[in-house]
Amino acid sequence: MADSAVPVISTGLQNIYITESKICRVDGENGKLYYRGYSIDTIARNSNYEEVAYLLIYGNLPKRQELEAFRQQLKNEREIPDSIVKLIKESANKADPMDVLRTAVSYLSIYDNETKDQSQESNIRKSIRLISKISSIVAAIGRIRDGFDYVHPDKSLGHTENFLYMLKGRRPAKEELVPVEMMYILQAEHSSNASTFSTIVTGSTLSDIYSAVTSGIATLKGPLHGGADEEALRMMYAIGKPENTEKYIEEALAGKQKIMGFGHRVYKAYDPRARIIKDYLLTLQNHASEEVRNLTKIALIAEKMMIDKLGKSHGIWPNVDFFAGPVYRSADIKLEMFTPMFAASRIAGWSAHMLEYWKDNKLIRPLEYYTGQLDLQYIPIDKR
């Protein structure tokens, strides 16, 4: 391109492809999502998080023996160093949980003697450690924020069951485990979203996987990405009662305010993950708490209004974040833990993309189109 030519600027890198991938397919036009070729509906109905993590990392569904070996690896890596527990105790009630998580994961790297080994085999081992330990760190953050002592992991429990055990200090009931397992599966992977992209950008410099994942966590924190489920629930709390919903949405739209949990950069149809979460939420109503029933009513009224006003005409539909809050609350998960749990799930996807990208690594270095002045005369400070 000649210096005088004005380039096409794709703000937000919209519609820009950065690489080829076999990990995830997001069909935004038709509202479909695939993990390694398997539809999210099939995965959510039949699988579990350990199997999903294996699928994303290795590229195929495991045989029984392979899955058991993978589960054992995860179990063996659950414990976190005492110094990280101390770090969490010192910071959990002073900082945002995502800030604590980001710092803890960065600190975790000093305990890994394979940090500088960039072989594929080593990076797979480190990925498994991260999948396991990040859940333990998130559970510790939540528990210590609530004023309780750290609970050591239980190797007899499955991945999400152990997470809830470490968070709550007791084995979870089925009605707590099922929604958390579902959310872990649905949030495990989603192609080149902002946090995955930032993970790849850092990794493309041949930095280590801890640095790359720390970048992903920092990116996920933002309310336009991982924090959107928290903001959607805060909106429902602000509405308060179902009968207030219509007025709230009307006034928000009139004021051109963003309704969190609606719209998506890629989906121009109903987010398939949102549909799965909504369907599950509807099954809870007969035995849900008053809070969850109230939140569900608000959500359903808001959903109908938004679809009627902006769905088919503007392609703005509910996304995964919208119904997530009521589902998390059905498992008695506090709002401030939603995004850290998102990270504990998405670590499988981040790791899978990093492992794939490193096979044919290329430093990511985009361009900026400079529009400022040139060849300005420097004026000494005493003459300015």
Q: Which of 159, 190, 264, 353 is catalytic?
A: 264
Residue at token pair 């990270």: 343
**For 33, which DSSP code?**
E
Beta strands 24-27; 38-39: pairing state: unpaired
Does residue 321 carry a catalytic annotation?
yes
Q: Is 264 a catalytic residue?
A: yes
Under a CB-based contact definition with an 8 Å cutoff, are residues 35 and 189 in contact?
Answer: yes
Rounded to 5°, angle at Cα 128 from 127 and 132: 115
Q: Exposed (0-12), middle (13-18) or buried (19+): which is 310, by Cβ within 10 Å? A: middle
**Quick one: which of 67, 68, 80 has its CA closest to 135?**
80
CA angle 135, 99, 26 (to 5 degrees): 60
Question: Residue 87 CA to chain centroid, in angstroms?
Answer: 23
- CA 21 to chain centroid, in Å, comes to 19
Number of Cβ within a 10 Å radius of residue 157: 18
Q: Which of 112, 208, 321, 353 is catalytic?
A: 321
Please list the active-site residues: 264, 321
